Every structure is written in C-alpha cells, then in structure tokens.
A and B are shown apart, each in its own frame.
Chain A
C-alpha cells in the first residue's frame, strides 16, 4: 500500500465524521507518513487504515462526554477536571445515525469475528423491523378500505334514489374497496399466523437442540 492508498481508504472509512475532522485526520497522517524516514515501514507500523479509523472513531464517540482528563478509575462523576471543558458536546449537530456509524466503525477495528457477528445481528434486526413495518402498512390499508368502502357504497345507494346511474358508480367502487379490504385483511392475518408460528417453531427447535447438547 502506498501513502495515497492509505489516506484514500482512511478518508472513506471516516466519511461519517464532520468534514473538518476528516480533513484534520487525513492531513495528520499524510504528514506523519512523510515525516517518517521510511514510508513503507511507517505504513507497516501504523496498521491498517481500518485500525487507524477505528481509533479515531472510538475517540470521537467516547469524546462526546469529556474524554480522559481524570485519574483513577471512576469516571461516574463525569465532570472533567479540565479548565477548558469544551470537549463536552463540542458538536451538537452529530446525529444519532452518525454515532451509530462510528460505533460500527469502532467495532470493525476489533478482531474479526465479533464484527461479523455484529453485522449479522444488525441485518437480522433490520429485516425483521422492515417486514413488520410492511405488514403494519398493509394492515392499515385493509382496515381503512373496509369502512371506507362501506361508506362509499351507502353514499351510492342514497344517490341511486335520485339518479340510478349516478349512484351505481359509487356503489360499485365502494363494494370493490370493501372486498379488497377484506382480502388484504385475510392475507395479513394469514401472514401473521404463519410468521409467528414459523418463528416460534424455529426458536423452539434451537432451544431443543441446545438442551440435547
């Protein structure tokens, strides 16, 4: 790896940080590698861009509070002894997503295995949440279609007393909506049952397997 490649990777890994943080870090390591007598050796001792980025990200997350600056183990009081004290919440714009990204980045700096497990867990949770959200949306549509369809049908029947043809159209539309609503509701109930039963079965199987071991 050359210096340029290293810095390029570092920049990409840090992309969740504020721009000035990225620039400062890349600038620092650019100089660092140039200042070393032997570029290749400097790159070797620095470790991978991922490790370097992980350290920066870990500090960015931990530094939200106040950073080190106190001796002894108990940081519970949290109050920084520092005279400046500006370390706390220096960047209030930092969004939750950014913090999560940085935590993931920090996790990636740990030995392999743990990050892989973490990614699988996160993906599993995301898929579950997405499926539940889709199901909820379809349920809401079904629940809205049934009374809505009924209402439109009633309006149609009322209109038919004055003008048969004018009332027939809303009646038809209302009945279609009503029927579609029922159909969706049945589908949702079926999916719910299937999903829950399948999940329960899977959990049951894994418990049984663990007990047998």
Chain B
C-alpha cells in the first residue's frame, strides 16, 4: 500500500487492536503489520509514547519461565481511542468528499 500510516493513524490502530484484547509486543506488532505497511521497529516507540501519555499500561504474566509484558487500555486510552476514531471518521468523509468531487462539507 502506498499510503503510509504515521502519527495519529498508527496510534488509532494500536489502541484499537489492544481494545479488543490485551496484547504483548510481538503479537501486537504482527497484527498491526497485517494491516499496515510499517516496519517492525515502528510499533515500539508508538506504544512507549502512548504509555507515557497514560493511554496504555503494562502488566507482567509468567510465560515459559519468564515474564511476558502485556499492554492494556486505560480509561484515558479508551477516551483517546474514541476521539481518534471520531477524527478518523471525519477525515475519511472529507477525503471521500474530495474523491467524489462534491462540495466541501
């Protein structure tokens, strides 16, 4: 796909994936990669930023003799997901408006 997912779009996708179930780094990255054309090393900085913004929090669960770090949404994260989702709908509508040649909404 030629359209790059950066910034808010990437945030939205990461939050959305985690909202459907807590996830660990590798699985989350693979899931995002299935949909978006991003490199492996793109996802961590996004998650780290969302974490410092307190949209995500982590907890550790034992797995094969070590701990696996899971990410889950906080209340702030759910709010962010809602806000970004609404922004995305708006953005999509506008772009569709341009593509169909109609007047600006």
By the criterion CB–CB under 8 Å, are A32 and B25 in contact? yes
**Segment 81-103 of A: residues with Cβ below 8 Å from B:** 81-87, 90
A164 CB within 8 Å of chain B:
no
Which residue of chain B lies nearest to A83 when distances are taken between CB atoms in the complex?
A: B79
A70 CB within 8 Å of chain B:
yes
- For the complex formed, measure the closest distance between the CB of A77 and the CB atoms of chain B, giving whole angstroms: 14
By the criterion CB–CB under 8 Å, are A34 and B66 in contact? yes
Chain B, interface size category, equals 35 or more
Interface residues of A, count at CB 8 A: 37
Chain B contact residues, CB within 8 Å of chain A = 6-11, 24-27, 29, 39-42, 44-46, 48-49, 52-55, 66, 68-69, 76, 79-80, 83-84, 87-88, 90-91
Digit string of A52-91 for contact with B (CB within 8 Å is 1, else 0)?
1001101110010001111110000000111111110010
By the criterion CB–CB under 8 Å, are B45 and A84 in contact? no
Digit string of A1-41 for contact with B (CB within 8 Å is 1, else 0)?
00000000000000000000100110111011011100000
By the criterion CB–CB under 8 Å, are B6 and A68 in contact? yes
Answer whether A31 and B26 are a contact pair too, CB < 8 Å, given A71-B84, A86-B54: yes
